[in-house]
Each structure stands twice: as structure tokens, then as C-alpha cells.
Structure 1
Amino acid sequence: MFLGSGSFISTTKAPSKEVAKPAVTAKRLMFLDSSITDSSVEVLQLPSPASLRKCALYAVFDGKVYWLRGIKPNINPVSLFVGNSIVNEDHFLATFKFDVIFIFTSLLFLKHDKFISVPQRIYELYRSGVVDSEECSVLESGMLALWNHNVDKVQDRLEYLCQKIKSDGSKDPLLKPNIDSFRAMLEHKVQSLEKAVQKSNLMMGSYCRASETSCHNHVRKNYIDFREGKLRLFCWSVISQMLNPEARSHLVPAKCDFNDISSHLQSTSSTAPLITSGNKGAKQRKITVAKGTPSILGFFKRT
């Protein structure tokens, strides 16, 4: 990751008169994925995968889309250090690699039982008359651009994941999502995320267990391992937050309520605590954190 600057552009035509610039155009500290080699990036408004009528910010570089998420220290306190200096900015922005298949999965499952072309689904979503605003026009243009430019090979992948009927007089086929195929795709996403977490040694109390192996000379040594069931539940919770309620209801396993994962972990936890001591009679040690420290689950739930 390295630092860069950002610029905001819109997919719609330039307005006839001056309008207030979006807040993102102000000076901000942006953390870019290491694969982004330019010193500046373009920031676009595209639909949020969890709610297609709401805007989210994305960075586009070299044909790839990166989700732009913000951290507000005054609201969710964080400590950020660059080198030996602490950075105190009003707003941090960070890019995360994003697969646009999530946006189109949410779109298809708004009407999962009908054969409709993707452009027609986009028109119906943003021109239904329920919400008529300039923001909807921006989202419609952005979504059509993703489709027409076949970003992340979304056209080919959706044709593979859906039942298809060729439409006379139109280059876009009529698609109806195959629920089993989409479930298999999400299963692959979850497995990939599990492997990435383990490879990166990303340790969290939600899915890790620590066992004390030594307390010699007042130095505690602990062995930390992953609890596969808990890690899988965590990864499903992350993936499910990138889908709208309609898609989640058909694709996410019904045995778990990922909207309230913390209560699920408490109710299904075994008698063994997440952080245990080597001595059976020893008390469970509580790890204290500063008040107001944000949780990663809350971070992924933000749209």
C-alpha cells in the first residue's frame, strides 16, 4: 500500500451551472492498493452492491475496479502511523479490490424468476418512477458502462451462471439466474477468503483460539490457531454484506444470521473459551481495547 491523491469524475454530462463539489474532492489521505501504480486515481460513483439505489465510491485503474471506503477518526477512533509520524487527518480513504459480479448478482436477484436482459433490468431499476433523481441517472450510466465494457468479464461470467435465451434484434441475451451456480460461485469466494486470511495470518478473536504453552520467567507464550467453523462463518458474513437482501435470501446459507454474527457466535460457541489458558482451572483472560475502537465487522457492514 502507498499514498496517492484522488480526483472525482462523474459518468453523466457536465452540469450547465456550477454545483457544489462532492466532499471527496477535498484534500484527503488515500491509501491505494499496491497494484495501482499511478500517483492519482479517478473516483467514480457506482451502485453499492448491498443497495443498488445508493451511491458508493470506486476507483478505476487499468480496467480494474477498487471499492473506496472511508474511515473517520473523529467518529471511529483509529491510530494511524506512517513511518514514525502519526497522521491526523479528517478523513482517510482506502481502496479494496472489488469484483463487480456482486453488483450484477444483486441486480439479477431483484427478479430472479424471469428471463430479462441485463440492460433492461438496469432500466427498470432506475426508471421505475419510484425514485427519480439525478443520482439514479448517475448510477444507471455507471452500471451500463460496467456492462458494456465487460469489466471483470462480467458478461461472460453471467452467461455461464445464468440460463440464457437469445433475443431477436438485441445483442444482449435474456438471462435468468441459476441459483445453484451462483451459490457455487459464492462458495468459491468464501473459500478464497479463508485461504487469504490464513496465508496473511490475520488473527481475530472471532475465529482464533489461543492456548498458553509457557509462562516461564513471567513471559507468556501462546499457540494461536484458526477455528475453521468460526473462520468460515466470518468469511460468509463478509461476502454476504456485498449482496442486497434479495440475493442474500436465496444464496446465503439460511442456518446463520449474518446480519447479527456477533450474537450467533455467542449462542453457538463451545464450552471452551476463544482465549484459553493451558491450566484448566485458570480464569479466562479478557483482552481490553480502547473505548470506541471500531470492529472489522462493523467496517464491512458500512455501505
Structure 2
Amino acid sequence: MFMGSSSFISMGKALKKKTPSTNADARRLMFVDSSIKAEFVEIVQLPNPTNLLDGALYAVLDGTIYLIRGILPNVHPVSLFVDNTILNQSFLATFRFDVIFIFTSILFLAPDKFMSMPQRIYELYRSGLNESQGHGALEAGAFALWNNNVDKIQERIRYLCDIANPGEAKDVVIKPNVSKFQAMLEYKVQSLEKAVRSSNIIMGSYCQSKETSNSEHVRKHYITVQDGKLRSFAWSLISSMLNAEARNRLVPSNGSMIDHQAIDDVNLSRKPVITSSKRPKQRKIAVASGTASITSFFKPV
């Protein structure tokens, strides 16, 4: 499964970059309940699976690749809160990345042609206008992933593709097998759904909360996971790792996902809902004197 537990890495050894004036006042929030400290983390630029001509930042730690999403080092100031306390601001959120998403996006740029993977990479970054736009680093990164067989990508691509020259040739001529790639993505979706349930991850995108008790001393909520919405949520995460060409061929239509949601909505509407007009009793949580709290983040700078 491409998404694992979030981890946090220190950017203390990253190359310093001049902060653009347009982003000088940009601020972001991050909330965590645990962190992983690393002595050394290498930051590299590789193709962005959603747009192969754009680069994305990745962290390499102990031979494992992690995608850094949303936050650029030394550009967007980050405020990190753990248990309502501000911690070091030089941390980035990452998650385990499966490089097969990059090569799936490459394959479906020309899904009906038999071509070797090196030839596909070369034509992507060297053909037409792309050659003059300076994509050398992205091309080198894609070749490095392929030639070093990161995540056993060569064997996996061979299995997922139709091969024109089967044998022991180093660079086989391949064409993506749509059915196999769809099955691969379906497996990732099911794995993500299973991980969400087993980890008891509660999000409003796919959960519904019902209040079953609202006394002065006890408040109880019954939270249910809506299968259709959870599936749509999982597909949205998986599809966000592919370019438009791959999504159009591999991701189910929105209509099929909406049908699942409609069934869930009908079933939920038949269940009794317990409501109460009583207002919950508010409690004031004591905080140690001098501790920076989240409310201070929103004060004008």
C-alpha cells in the first residue's frame, strides 16, 4: 500500500534557499501526536506522478522513498503542534511512496504502443518542446528509479504489461494491460480501506456521528463508517497519485461511486437518530504557564 503512517523528518541539513517575498507571510499548521527523528535525510527531486513535467520533493531514508506533500522546505513557515504545544518548526510531513505511480503515469501517456520503458522516459523529456525546457534532473531521476529497480519496479511492470519480445532482454518492449493495472489499483484501494478500519481512523469524509447521550456528566456518540463514502475517499487518494491520462483509463467513474453513497444514505435514513436539546457542559483545560497554545497562532503577526 502506497500510504503508511505519517512521519516527521528534520530539515536542519537541507540546503538553504532564499525565501520568496510573495511567500514571506505564508503560514501552515501541522498537528501530530508522535514523531520520528532521523540523523540524516536526503532530499531529492523526482517526477511528480500527477504531472511528470513538474518536479516533486521526496525524502530518501534508509533506502526508502517518502513523498513530501504540500509543504516546501525553507519556503512556507510551518507551525508544528503536539499536544497543544509548539515544537520545532523545521519539520515536514511525509509518507511512504510507491514509485509505481510514476511509471504508471508514464505508461499511460502512450498506452496503445509497444515501447520499452527507457524509450518512454527518453521521449517524455526529450521530444518536442519538452527538450528545451530543462527537464534533465527529472529525466535522470526517472532513469535512476528504473535502473536501480527501486521497489522492484522492473518485475512489477513486466507483470502488469503485455510484452512484445518476451525473454531475458534487458529493455523489453511493453504495453500496459489495462485490466491488470485496474486490479492493482483496486487492491491498493482495498488495502487503504482495511488500514483505515483497522487503525480506527475517523474522518468526516466517510464517517457519521450520532449523539446517543447528552447528560451533564456523560456525552456519548455512536460513529459509523459509511462503506460507499470510505471507498470514494480511498479512490480519491489513489487517483490523486496519477496523471489525467492514467486516471481516465483506470479510475472508476464518479457515477459508480455515487451509487454506493446513495445506498448508504438510504440505509442510514432508516435508522433512528437520538437527539437532545441540552447544551454540553464546557470544561476549561488547565495549561502550564508560558506554554504557547494554538490560539496564539491566529493572532496577527
**TM tier, shorter chain?**
0.7 to 0.9
Q: Distance in 2 between matches of 1:172 and 1:23?
A: 43
Paired position in structure 2 for 1:278: 274
> Conserved in 2, the CA contact under 8 Å of 1:112 and 1:177?
yes
TM-score normalised over the length of structure 1: 0.72
Paired position in structure 2 for 1:5: 11
> Conserved in 2, the CA contact under 8 Å of 1:2 and 1:31?
no
Question: 1:220 Cα shift?
Answer: 2.1
> Conserved in 2, the CA contact under 8 Å of 1:103 and 1:243?
yes
Call closer, same or farther: CA 1:45–1:173 in 2, change over 3 Å. Answer: same
* One-letter code aligned to 1:99: D
Question: 1:152 Cα shift?
Answer: 0.3
Paired position in structure 1 for 2:224: 225
Paired position in structure 2 for 1:129: 128
Q: Distance in 2 between matches of 1:102 and 1:178?
A: 15
Unaligned runs of 5+ in 1: 10-19, 25-29, 283-289, 294-303
Paired position in structure 1 for 2:114: 115
Moved more, 76-85 or 215-224: 76-85
Q: Distance in 2 between matches of 1:57 and 1:196?
A: 25
* One-letter code aligned to 1:98: F
Q: Distance in 2 between matches of 1:65 and 1:22?
A: 26
> Conserved in 2, the CA contact under 8 Å of 1:31 and 1:93?
no
Question: 1:87 Cα shift?
Answer: 3.8
> Conserved in 2, the CA contact under 8 Å of 1:43 and 1:60?
yes
Paired position in structure 1 for 2:81: 81
> Conserved in 1, the CA contact under 8 Å of 2:114 and 2:174?
yes
Q: Distance in 1 between matches of 2:223 and 2:191?
A: 21
CA deviation string 1:49-69 (max 9, x = no partner): 100000000011232211012
Q: Larger radius of gyration, structure 1 or 2?
A: 2
> Conserved in 1, the CA contact under 8 Å of 2:9 and 2:93?
no
Q: Name the % identity.
A: 54
TM-score normalised over the length of structure 2: 0.73
Q: Distance in 2 between matches of 1:146 and 1:172?
A: 14
- Equivalenced residue count is 259
Question: 1:78 Cα shift?
Answer: 8.1
Paired position in structure 1 for 2:165: 166
Query: Superposition pairs for residues 152-163 of structure 1, below 5 Å?
Result: 152-163=151-162
Question: 1:219 Cα shift?
Answer: 3.0
- What's the secondary structure of 1:93's corresponding residue? strand
Paired position in structure 2 for 1:59: 59
Q: Distance in 1 between matches of 2:64 and 2:158?
A: 20
